[in-house]
Structure 1
Amino acid sequence: MSMSQSKLVRFVTAGNVDDGKSTLIGRILHDSKALLSDQVQSIVNARFGRADAGEMDLAFLTDGLESEREQGITIDVAYRYFTTQRASFIVIDAPGHEQYTRNMVTGASNADIAVVLVDASRIHQGHLKVQTRRHATIAHILGLKIVFAVNKMDLIDWSHSHYQQVEASLIRLSRTLGIEDIDIVPINARSGDNVVHQSAVPSWYQGPCLLQILEQQDKATDFADLPFRFPVQRVVRTNGHTLAAKRGYAGRIASGQIRLGDEVCVATSQQCSRIAKIETYDQILTHAQAGQSITLYTQDDLDIARGDCLTSSDARVTNLVVADLCWLDDQAWQDQQRYILRQGTASTPVRIQTVLHVRDMHDLSQVRGEQALAQNDIALVKLQTQSPIIADEFATNPKLGAFILINVDTNQTVAAGMIRNS
């Protein structure tokens, strides 16, 4: 495989409900020859198909749930894979409906690029939908490269002036969020214009098609190059109670890499030792890196339990962090309610000490004050944890810089957070 073929691009589709996200993915899969003949036939004969007779409802390629097909909306996150001559892709179809924003956040957290769709036919005088603004904001907070795809251009007869209004609004949105580098492309997902292949329509657009833009992106983070972080999932014991008994620490490397003899520390206690052995279920290793599930043995016995994190010596811990927070629960934040912060395998009681500001999704202004956090609010908050957590910023290490908040009474995930600074 050549270097160009080895590039992996992970992108999520985002935007308002009915902007055409699932149809776009179906079009990309179809036109890039990623479908088998039986898959094509199954969507032609789909039970709840909304396409004309003999045509394909391309949205069915990702809308796999019966309720999704019946209602014509995306509810859950779907993943699909395809390859071109220039790159391999993992494409994530996320819901657009406000009710399923939590699912969109889940999908976006696994991506490097967000393709934010805008239905050109439903934009009047350049006014973007609230959910489009919300999804662009979430994608930016998550550190994703953003590509805007202005869809359904055929419904406005490929009007250049109308497109320019939408384009100007997207540029203003980007500047408000502080996004410096964006791509904007006019498309028609249903017919395939400017999706996988450049189209003669419209004559006024001479730029690349959407797939070419995605193939040119180089946004992926190599987690092996980041500082070593190893959340411990389980402490194992070998050789029972014999003199040769050893304690090992099992888990998955979140970031960085480790070799025999490297020094590691327990993040919260700063106990340090060196790696004596690295093993998987069936082999002994001299080296391991991000993504591998392994068991580590150290030269000295360390006081470690599930929830601890082995790190390189540069890790810093704190009880007070500033973070971006997406409130996902239908029950609003209550100051007296008990919450748990979960980072990696670690859990600790937490309280929102201060709401620094909440974004108004209509104009993206930062509304200051002690507002209550309601469902789908995006806020900057100051958190105080009972036990110290690793203070990795999300911008530099997304694996440990992210966390969730859990309601102690309901066990529901109520918010997703990204550490900004501490």
Structure 2
Amino acid sequence: MVVADLMGAVTFNVGPGKVVLLPMVWAILMATALGLLHRRLPGPLSLDTGLQFRAAAILQPALLLFVAKLGLMVGGSLPKLAAAGWALAFQELGHFVGTIIIGLPLALLLGIKREAIGATFSVGREPSLAIIGERYGMDSPEGRGVLAEYLTGTVFGAVFLAVFAGFIASLNLFDPLALAMGSGVGSGSMMAAAAGAIAAQQTPEMAKDVMTFAAASNLITTTVGTYFTLFISLPLAVWGYKVLEPILGRTTKATVHAGDVTAQDPGASVPALSLLQKWGAWGAAAALTILSDWILYGSKPVDTLPGMLIMLFAVGVGDFLAKVTGRKIPAVCWVSLIAMALTSPLCPWGAQIIAITGKINFLAVTPAMLTFAGLSLAKDIPAFRRLGWRIVVVSFAANAGTFLGATVIAQFFRH
């Protein structure tokens, strides 16, 4: 992570646009490389499979710190978000319809059969795995499709969206806030990568608005978006498959039959953390965030520590409420709501909390989180490799579709 921070952002031109590679992209790439090369590295640097599963266990608590920062940004901007009106409300439909419009026809043309439904009805995050698993079972073609999308998004999603969103933003075809709303695809790391690449090309004030609208869109996608996925996009994908498969469908080596692929559950063997271990994970993520803020933006640790303590408070209370409610409402929702409440206009200390937590740069939170993500990915590469290159192309198309679909709808309502 420190090496990634020291490398900083790298920008290069591609045709009429440009690509911005931020430190968080270097962090996930270098961490994944360390995991893949663990057998060739000396003892202290060798990250065996056990340590990779441990990194996966640490990643989830670390993500809550990221969610807290998002909530703090959203709460202080609720009036501005309300003024966005229909743009923010209807862009959510574009997130899910866009994956199908672009991803499904391409999957059929490449010879992918019912796996295409699981791979293109959504961007394939954890709620999508649960929906497909309950409806079809993970050993079904649909289950293999959503698993492939999950693995592709986990391995390459943040990198792809950072490059793609940054390139689209550089073309100046869309309002920056419409692009920001398109970034909220339902994955914290993918949203951070896309929104960060967009924000890096804006003025400091507009960059804050970009991150705020992206956070709000992502929050909507992870909450209300689950119902969109279940009741709109999945039935639409099933209907689209029935209509388009006789027209576009092909039988190639990409057609996967039952028993040809042994699916690997990405959550298998991830150890459960005790409360003390959770606090250790939160503390490590907090310390690394403060370090990144210092390296990247010159923020003094003594200035960012109070804001970090507020973020840790939101995380701790949110996790506690999730536990006492039997996890019926996940911790990510509780943490978001608490953080939003702390900086909302209804909170008497909202302005002070905004000033304190605002000293922590949003982009400083992401390198640590994506480092843990990268360290945990190498264990999934063998299962991912068996699914072939075609599903990677389809996943990229679905991710591009969800970003562009939401951006176009948001642009329409903003103008």
TM-score of the pair, normalised by structure 1: 0.22
Q: Max radius of gyration: which structure?
A: 1
Q: Greater relative contact order: 1 or 2 (C-alpha under 8 angstroms, separation 6 or more)?
A: 2
Larger helix percent:
2
